[in-house]
Structure 1
Amino acid sequence: MRPSILRRLFRSVVSATALGVLLTTPVTATAAASAAPAGTSASAADTLHQVTGFGSNPGNLQMFAYTPSTAPAGAPLVVALHGCTQSANAYHANSGWPKFADAWGFDVVYPQTTSANNALSCFSWFDAAKDTRGRGEAASIVQMVEYAQRTYGSDGRRVYVTGLSAGGGMTANLLAAYPDVFAGGSVASGLPAQCATTQAAASGCQTGPQKLSPAQWGDKVRASYPGYTGPWPRVAIWQGTSDYTVYPANATALRDQWTDVWGIGQTPDGTSTLPGNTTRTVYDDASGKPAVETYSMSGMGHGLAVDPGVGASQCGSTAAYFLDTVCSTYYTGVFWGLDRDAPGGGDGLPAPTGLRVTGVTADSASLSWSPVAEAASYVVHRDGTKVASPTGTSFTDSGLSPGVSYRYTVAAVGSSGAVGATAPAVTATTTGGSTVRCFTASNYAHVTAGRARTSGGYVYAHGSGQNMGLYNVFVTHTLKESPAGYFVIADSGCQAGSSLKSL
């Protein structure tokens, strides 16, 4: 009997006994469904179910789990934290995580807090007695991870945590306190690690954290687990530019905090545009692999970005604090590499090696890579979207915009049509730096998009160094870019080679 079938049978038994009671209306991977009556063939492993007895639980949290039968032993584990006034059930139903857990084969644990802990059912990201190493809610969540490793066989090297709002604040604290547990994190509309240590200080963080240097923000992480030297988690940061609950300054502080921890500075290594008016900015580690990524959704308010639909990169459903822009869950999963071990695995095909950019023009980028034995073809993605399926080991992508950075990945495709592991991404920047581009946005948005930097509470344009005024969402400027990466203030008018963009 195959290991995956054994694991599936094992999970059915465990889910009906040791894992606790099923929710009254569990949510399946595709839609809300009624619980199957006892004795039917439906497996509790494929529903959201509550787990009891996972540990001493010092933080008085509840544990829910989604353990799809497609997840083999040794699968990755994702811990997903809801926002205030939400529940594990709501987060599971609307965030899109079950879709990719099914497709890519991993388990999801949803910690849940209640009004017994906080009047608004918020995770206590502002309380040092609850959000630090070995204490309170943080310790309870790590006990859930340990339970998953014992019970589901989760791979301890591939444990990730994500959260929205207060859940995002707790996510940042978990990454800081337990970098030995979590390989990566994703903070959506959240706060930097240890921004506040009392409830009274929490509102000050939400409306704009104190102006600390990147090193000071980084010190808050380093102090959370003294003596730890790495490796550090890879961190994705999601923020709407019109969020007036958790202000965009928090995304910049998070960026400063984690790039400093990684020792890579705050100068982007690439930017790209995603659906939903989303700008992705990438900060690579010393090996050229993305360590920190920021995602700025123009005009989005407070919530988790979702993109309802059946497309490969779409997910979720709209509800309170689940906002229709872009599927943050898909891009977060790709950033973590969860898509590389999808069931079928391209007939076991490894990731192509030697992926490199061989040439660029103003409107094209050429790639090449080493052949993979037994590959029938390859699939090329640009910024997460499939653009080609060549049979050879090279490809030229045309019709691009001048002076723009694009990120490419390549995977081999087996004779069955299954896609194998994905090669680490490379970035190609088209020529044509003399082409003028114009961007109109708030100072916060300019900083988040990598067009400007902050210092002493003020914003300065990259390249020219011009002072753009105070660092907030209420000051708006038009920046002209020419050549690529060099910005000047052009509020009186900007003659662009392409259309004016409001970001």
Structure 2
Amino acid sequence: MTDALHAVMAEATRLTRSGRLDEAAALIRRTLRGGFAPDTSSKTSDFSGHEPIDSTCRVIDDIPQLTPPPDSGASAHGSRHDAGRSAPSSAFEATFRSLRTGLESIITKPSQANPDIQAGGQFMTGSFTNPAGTRAYKLYIPSGYHGQALPLIVMLHGCAQDPDDFAAGTRMNVLAEREGFFVLYPEQAPQANPSRCWNWFKASDQHRDHGEPSILADMTRHIVSTHGLDAGRVYVAGHSAGGAMAMVMGVNYPELYAAIGVHSGLPYGVAHDIPSAFAAMQQGETAALLQRESSFPAALKALRIVPTIVFHGDRDTTVHPGNGDRVLAQWATVHSGAGRKLRVTANRGQVPHGHSYTHSIYHDASGQVVMEQWLVHGAGHGWSGGSPDVSYTDPKGPSASEEMVRFFLKHSQGKP
């Protein structure tokens, strides 16, 4: 059966790369319903297929707690609950999940939502160039904008996404219209990454004033300057590869971004190429993080620690949920290195007819909230509380967009 699944993956990948997305999608649907592997001996194939919440609060600890890895013997992609099953069944299901995740990562669901229509706001297309390169973007301007200094949230999409898909899935433009802020959606170029992933894992794209961080930072400054926005209320958030890149931006530009949001992302500097990126995504090894603590810019310890809100599903088989813990642990390590101690409280809650979650809040010595973590129980690799009509969302979770906006607007800083 494993060989058959590999054959399905290979055939669906071939169909996708040749532009035959409908056939690839049909093959995926058929396989997930228990269909058979394709006959790959022929060069041509025709797979039509058949076709606010009550909570309690208590002090948990004074240090970040890391999510333990799956029980010994379970797949790195698997749920913790898989360990008790028989070995053949677990191995088959792990391979099956790996197949599904791999195929879904290269085939984007069709976008049915229209992010342009948001109560009169404008959704403009633009392009920005600096010495490091050129990237397209879309910019949402709320209808209430009349030249005043509004906040800006920069939203970094995940792999196989684009600004329209990400805007529709997160519904961030709806919140921008309601709360009065701009939203900038930079777009990764396929020439820079064929899967449209931000290159958070490349050493050349992890440092200040180099590569993609340089482009994104200068693009942010350009939008703030051009529209007269509030330079003290600029934020960056992202999902998956975009979440990892949001962490890169927070680490390298703490004077530019007042707070960051990391959804299903990874810590800073835990990878330097594609193999190490997959290792970090699948295993979330503590050792890998500790070995790369020195990769934090030396000047960071002398600067402000950027307030951070993290969302992650505990059933995420694409990016190990332990990575969410380690994003916070990374900041907390720097925080404690400066002689400051964090106090952590936790709330348990339940979305009506949806997922339960654990909401952890990190306070500094003065009582200010500097970090938050939302661990969504039962959720996978999708934007929590997002629209069901587009890719990589989980409508059953608490709204990551609502909570990030709330968190962001409570944090500001002086103009850079």
TM-score (norm. length: structure 2): 0.65
8 A Cα contact 1:235 1:292, kept in partner: yes
Match of 2:236 in 1: 161
8 A Cα contact 1:65 1:108, kept in partner: yes
8 A Cα contact 2:169 2:383, kept in partner: no
* Counterpart Cα distance in 2 of 1:249 and 1:318: 28
1:150 aligns with 2:229: no
* Counterpart Cα distance in 2 of 1:318 and 1:221: 38
Pairing partner for 1:127 from 202, 214, 220: 202
1:300 aligns with 2:379: yes
* Counterpart Cα distance in 2 of 1:227 and 1:304: 29
Q: How many residues align?
A: 292
Match of 2:135 in 1: 61
Match of 1:285 in 2: 364
Match of 2:316 in 1: 243
Q: SS where residue 197 of structure 1 aligns?
A: coil
Measured after TM superposition, the shift of residue 338 of structure 1 is 6.0
| Superposed CA offset, 1:288-340 (max 9, x none) | 11111110010101111125xxxxxxxx4442211112210101111122699
8 A Cα contact 1:190 1:250, kept in partner: yes
1:170 aligns with 2:258: no
| Superposed CA offset, 1:177-206 (max 9, x none) | 111111100100001011112222110110
- Ranges in structure 1 where 5+ consecutive residues have no aligned partner: 1-24, 32-41, 308-315, 341-503
Q: SS where residue 156 of structure 1 aligns?
A: coil
8 A Cα contact 2:123 2:140, kept in partner: yes
Q: SS where residue 60 of structure 1 aligns?
A: strand
Match of 2:283 in 1: 208
Match of 1:70 in 2: 144
Match of 1:229 in 2: 302
Match of 2:405 in 1: 333
Pairing partner for 2:216 from 115, 118, 141: 141
8 A Cα contact 2:346 2:358, kept in partner: no
8 A Cα contact 1:26 1:48, kept in partner: no
1:321 aligns with 2:395: no
1:111 aligns with 2:190: no
Q: 1:228 to 1:252 in 2, by over 3 A?
A: closer
| Superposed CA offset, 1:102-135 (max 9, x none) | 1111111101013211111100000121232101
* Counterpart Cα distance in 1 of 2:249 and 2:115: 27
Q: 1:240 to 1:227 in 2, by over 3 A?
A: closer
Deviates more, 1:265-274 or 1:323-332: 265-274
8 A Cα contact 2:122 2:143, kept in partner: no
Instruction: Give the aligned residue type for 2:349.
Output: T
* Counterpart Cα distance in 1 of 2:300 and 2:296: 11
| Superposed CA offset, 1:229-262 (max 9, x none) | 2222100111101001001110121121112223
* Counterpart Cα distance in 1 of 2:242 and 2:321: 16
* Counterpart Cα distance in 2 of 1:274 and 1:234: 25
Q: 1:232 to 1:267 in 2, by over 3 A?
A: closer
* Counterpart Cα distance in 2 of 1:55 and 1:61: 7
| Superposed CA offset, 1:200-231 (max 9, x none) | 211011012332498766544344xx365222
* Counterpart Cα distance in 1 of 2:308 and 2:131: 27
Instruction: Give the aligned residue type for 1:63.
Output: Y
Measured after TM superposition, the shift of residue 79 of structure 1 is 0.3
8 A Cα contact 1:218 1:261, kept in partner: no
1:268 aligns with 2:344: yes
Q: 1:49 to 1:184 in 2, by over 3 A?
A: same
| Superposed CA offset, 1:408-467 (max 9, x none) | xxxxxxxxxxxxxxxxxxxxxxxxxxxxxxxxxxxxxxxxxxxxxxxxxxxxxxxxxxxx
Match of 1:27 in 2: 115
* Counterpart Cα distance in 1 of 2:165 and 2:122: 13
8 A Cα contact 2:133 2:215, kept in partner: yes
Q: SS where residue 78 of structure 1 aligns?
A: strand
Q: 1:320 to 1:175 in 2, by over 3 A?
A: same
8 A Cα contact 2:237 2:246, kept in partner: yes
8 A Cα contact 2:381 2:392, kept in partner: yes
* Counterpart Cα distance in 1 of 2:288 and 2:368: 24
8 A Cα contact 1:65 1:107, kept in partner: yes
Match of 1:4 in 2: none
Cα root mean square deviation, aligned: 2.5
Q: Which has the higher strand share?
A: 1
Q: Work out the percentage of aligned pairs sharing the same amino acid.
A: 26
1:80 aligns with 2:155: yes
* Counterpart Cα distance in 2 of 1:265 and 1:85: 40
* Counterpart Cα distance in 1 of 2:280 and 2:289: 16
1:198 aligns with 2:286: no
* Counterpart Cα distance in 2 of 1:83 and 1:92: 12
* Counterpart Cα distance in 2 of 1:213 and 1:83: 23
* Counterpart Cα distance in 1 of 2:131 and 2:187: 12
Q: Which has the higher helix share?
A: 2
Q: 1:215 to 1:153 in 2, by over 3 A?
A: farther
Measured after TM superposition, the shift of residue 174 of structure 1 is 0.7
8 A Cα contact 1:196 1:202, kept in partner: yes
8 A Cα contact 2:357 2:377, kept in partner: yes
Measured after TM superposition, the shift of residue 56 of structure 1 is 1.5
* Counterpart Cα distance in 1 of 2:276 and 2:289: 20
8 A Cα contact 1:185 1:234, kept in partner: yes
Match of 2:88 in 1: none
